[in-house]
Structure 1
């Protein structure tokens, strides 16, 4: 690995973003971790076995925050990983406007705007855009309606940019983890059993993501039943309607629901 290659990772203060950062440092990248607070970024930095780290405390949802990120890149970037995300779980009827707006701003609008702002730097390096989506970006789950909508949008954005940038030398990789053991797990922990959810560690997700990134893959899904269900969803969505709809109506699922928001 060329140790002069630079990767910028949003949401790097915790969870998948932290795991991606630690593994990036081990691979020899110059690292620009981005997060909302310097405290969590410093914690990530201390876990990374590298001195080539420039932490940026910035809010990716604001123009001012994105300007700080662009300044930190300083004109050239090899890999942009749009990882920052938030989650709200529950009946749509219980979702406040703020819940929906926060997911749309963080999960979809911010990655689009940051990618736009960093395209000049990515063109210099003929780099790669990596969007961390979700299996819920293919299989729309009840009680995750807003979150699923933003991840469907991120998958569509990835496809569109891959085609828009064809011939430019810039690649686009879409990563779709299943449920992951992070701070967000608390928002849906009661639903794990009734919805038969499998959880991966952040480290496992990061390892699979880096494998796909370094191989220049178009997209990456977890091994197991979710990958099969994604194929079924794309070919026979009515079958998924019946299966997941039954889970949504199950009394155990309904009993487990309560509105919550975790970032």
Structure 2
């Protein structure tokens, strides 16, 4: 896909990865509707892009709110005149013992990470089908292929998005609407709090720079990829986990025990 002139909705634009994806898309000539609830930050990013000669408009929304998907779609249509690509990037994460996780937080995470992006797809899809072209891009995680201990709810949400993306791609096979699922591994962003970061460092978990991940996401869109997994050995273990999960159980045992001592200090 040539991104020049493409009209794109990007959620989670205020985050570490989303901000850099927005800049790269703008550099490619895309016209952007940046969705987020942090009004000052989203507006700041739009101003930066517009000052560089790009086009970005802020759409200030809490995606977990009722009717948010339709509002985002309406705002994008009004400001951009149409939609060619939806990038579902927004997400939240907890690192904690599951028995300590607040039930409300479980519901919130499933709402933001699963229900909101699905409803956005549902709002955008009729428009893409009518114009006979477009792409839906769902940003997942290595945690959507491998169940990591102490990230149970986050893993559940990302497994759901991977399954949704796969099913939707197959459902749309006879249309001109494509589906791309991108699976980053751990990334150095504020999504990881201090405890999580210390745990990742002690377990020697590789963490990519957000600039690198953003470049991989944009490249996957340009290449019309169906799936794109970022980083080794995580991509290998994701495939191994699908075939031989007990081998991965053993491989994670040492890091599981290290992570537990950090998770026990967290109460969410």
Q: What is the TM-score of this pair, normalised by structure 2?
A: 0.91
Distance 1:17 1:163 in 2: 27
> Which of 197, 217, 222 is the equivalent residue of 1:209?
217
| Contact preservation (8 Å) 2:96, 2:266 | yes
Q: Give the number of equivalent residue pairs.
A: 259
Aligned to 1:136: 143
> Which of 152, 158, 164 is the equivalent residue of 1:157?
164
| Contact preservation (8 Å) 2:150, 2:260 | no
Distance 2:249 2:150 in 1: 14
Aligned to 1:245: 253
Off by >4 Å, runs of 4+ in structure 1: none
Instruction: Give 1:121 shift.
Output: 2.1
Distance 1:46 1:260 in 2: 38
| Contact preservation (8 Å) 2:93, 2:109 | yes
Aligned to 2:90: 84
Aligned to 1:29: 30
Distance 1:51 1:32 in 2: 12
Aligned to 1:232: 240
Distance 1:50 1:101 in 2: 40
Distance 1:205 1:25 in 2: 16
Per-residue CA deviation, residues 77-124 of structure 1 (Å, 9 max, x unaligned), is: 111000000001111011011221111000001111110011122222
Instruction: Give 1:53 shift.
Output: 1.2
Instruction: Give 1:212 shift.
Output: 0.9
Residues 44-193 of structure 1: matches in 2 within 5 Å? 44-48=45-49, 49-74=52-77, 76-123=82-129, 124=131, 126-186=133-193, 188-193=196-201
Q: Between 81-90 and 236-245, report the one with greater CA deviation.
A: 236-245
| Contact preservation (8 Å) 2:184, 2:231 | no
Q: What is the TM-score of this pair, normalised by structure 1?
A: 0.93
- The verdict on how the C-alpha distance between 1:260 and 1:219 changes in structure 2, with shifts beyond 3 A counting, is farther
Distance 2:116 2:94 in 1: 17
- The verdict on how the C-alpha distance between 1:177 and 1:147 changes in structure 2, with shifts beyond 3 A counting, is same
Per-residue CA deviation, residues 153-175 of structure 1 (Å, 9 max, x unaligned), is: 00000001001111111000001
Instruction: Give 1:236 shift.
Output: 1.2
Distance 2:236 2:167 in 1: 24
Distance 2:43 2:267 in 1: 28
